[in-house]
């Protein structure tokens, strides 16, 4: 009797159950070279789940996947995806997380092009909450970009979630997660110090988050290169072009994009405060403009009435 053929992890059938868990596969929702993600359901509660299985064969990639699962077990925050379990299938690690309805920020930008400061504030606030929590636990993300920010649609509106902690690293550690001579990250959003493989702290995440803010408001990436090396060179040597349409917010973002970490906002909270000050000013000015729309016609009416009254008095004389 022949042995049963091994499961194709990238093409699990609907109804298949994860061994050791009450998780039933519903459908495959995405697949990359590194991983496959399935929509699944917990049979005991009916709760929807996301099953993510690593397809990586490189030892370092597998190690990052496992470290992400270990980190997510330690993180519990409303703006970070909830972790429910992990295991191994045919030597490939997997993790089970809550299922989220919505779309990534990169998908939103592809559809809309840009966001207004008010729209962006909803996203920005949630990401700041997640990052401040991670930083308070001595953890830097190292891969902040639109595709790793998920906009969850809930009955109460939108909620931002910071995803993919596969490249996250404790700040105060000598653990090397990257082979010597290699630089990890997404070149369009990497800080200058990350581009050169220097020791990183939370100010590197401040830079990457500022890159995301810049793209959301301007509709273009901060730097676009013909290659990854070209993009990293620009982070090191070229100055950002100010966002002419949003000068006040541009000034806030450009401070977060300073080449030297010492010249940037030192914490995410500092960037957040500067942004919120501009939002408050923007709302105040919008309120004044709205009031002026009403005040000016009323003032004109009052002047006209007074003029007619004075003319009437003059004619009686």
* CATH code assigned at 259: 1.10.510.10
| pLDDT (0 to 100) of residue 180 | 46
Same domain as 254, residue 122: yes
Does residue 7 sit within a domain? Answer: no
Instruction: Judge if 238 and 112 occupy the same domain.
Output: yes
- 304 within a domain of the structure (yes/no): no
Contact (Cβ atoms closer than 8 angstroms) between residue 142 and residue 204: yes
pLDDT given at position 58: 85
Q: Which domain holds residue 137?
A: 102-279
Residues 132, 258 within the same domain = yes
Tell me: do 263 and 222 sit in the same domain.
yes
End position of a domain, from candidates 57, 79, 98: 98
* Domain match, 119 and 132 both: yes
pTM of the full structure: 0.84
CA-based angle 215:152:255, to the nearest 5?
A: 30
Asked if 175 and 169 touch (Cβ cutoff 8 Å), the reply is yes
Residue 147 covered by a domain:
yes
Please say if 164 is a catalytic residue: no
Asked if the structure places residue 167 within a domain, the reply is: yes
Domain count, the chain: 2
Q: Active site residue: 27, 143, 201, 270, which one?
A: 143
pLDDT tens over the chain, length 317 residues: 344 556 788 889 999 998 888 899 999 999 988 899 999 999 888 999 999 999 988 888 888 888 888 889 899 999 998 999 999 988 899 999 999 999 999 999 999 999 999 999 999 999 999 999 999 999 999 999 999 999 998 878 889 999 999 899 898 765 555 554 456 789 999 999 999 999 999 999 999 999 999 999 999 999 988 899 999 999 999 999 999 999 999 999 999 999 999 999 999 999 999 999 999 998 877 667 666 555 666 656 666 666 665 666 666 66
> Does residue 23 form part of some domain?
yes
Same domain, 70 and 169: no
Same domain for 106 and 73, yes or no, is no
Q: Are both 51 and 170 inside the same structural domain?
A: no
* pLDDT attached to residue 5: 57
> H or E segment at 65?
helix 59-74
* Residue whose pair of structure tokens reads 């401070």 in the numeric block: 255
């Amino acid at each position: 009797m022949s042995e049963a053929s091994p499961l194709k992890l990238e093409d699990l059938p609907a109804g298949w159950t994860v061994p050791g868990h009450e998780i039933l596969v519903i459908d495959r929702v995405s697949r990359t070279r590194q991983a496959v993600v399935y929509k699944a359901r917990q049979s005991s509660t009916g709760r929807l789940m996301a099953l993510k299985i690593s397809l990586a064969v490189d030892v370092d990639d597998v190690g990052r996947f496992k470290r992400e699962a270990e980190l997510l077990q330690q993180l519990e925050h409303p703006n970070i995806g909830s972790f429910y379990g992990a295991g191994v299938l045919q030597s490939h690690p997997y993790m089970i997380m809550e299922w989220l309805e919505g779309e990534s920020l990169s998908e939103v930008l592809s559809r809309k092009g840009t966001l207004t400061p008010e729209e962006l504030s909803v996203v920005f606030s949630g990401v700041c909450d997640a990052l401040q929590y991670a930083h308070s636990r001595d953890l830097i993300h190292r891969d902040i970009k639109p595709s790793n920010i998920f906009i969850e649609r809930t009955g109460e509106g939108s909620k931002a979630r910071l995803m993919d902690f596969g490249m996250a690293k404790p700040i105060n550690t000598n653990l090397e997660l990257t082979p010597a001579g290699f630089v990890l990250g997404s070149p369009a959003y990497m800080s200058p110090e990350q581009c050169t493989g220097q020791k990183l702290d939370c100010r590197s995440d401040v830079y990457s988050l500022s890159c995301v803010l810049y793209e959301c408001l301007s509709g273009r990436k901060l730097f676009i290169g013909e290659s990854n090396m070209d993009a990293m060179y620009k982070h090191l040597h070229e100055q950002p072009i100010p966002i002419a349409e949003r000068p006040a917010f541009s000034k806030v973002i450009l401070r977060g994009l300073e080449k030297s970490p010492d010249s940037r906002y030192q914490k995410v909270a500092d960037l957040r405060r500067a942004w919120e000050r501009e939002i408050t000013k923007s709302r105040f000015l919008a309120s004044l403009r709205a009031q002026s729309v009403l005040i000016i016609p009323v003032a004109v009416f009052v002047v006209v009435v007074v003029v007619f009254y004075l003319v009437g008095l003059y004619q009686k004389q």
